[in-house]
Amino acid sequence: MRYVMIFKSRKALRHLLEHGFVFSFRTKQRKHLGKCWITDKRGGRKIINAIVEDVEFIYPFCKEALELYYEYSGFNSTEEWIEEIIKLNKGNKPAVGWIYKVEMER
Domains detected in the chain: 4-104 (2.30.130)
Best CA proximity match to 11, nearest among 61, 76, 82: 76
List per-residue pLDDT tens for the chain, 106 residues long: 689 999 999 999 999 999 999 999 999 999 999 999 999 999 999 999 999 999 999 999 999 999 999 999 999 999 999 999 999 999 999 999 999 999 999 8
DSSP alpha helix (H) spans, the chain: 10-19, 63-67, 78-88
Question: What is the reported pTM?
Answer: 0.95
Distance CA(10)–CA(57), nearest Å, equals: 23
Distance CA 30, CA 26 (A): 8
pLDDT at residue 55, rounded to an integer: 98
pLDDT number for residue 2: 82
- Lay out the sheet containing 97-104: strands in order across: 4-6, 34-39, 48-58, 97-104, 21-26
Q: What is the pLDDT of residue 1?
A: 63
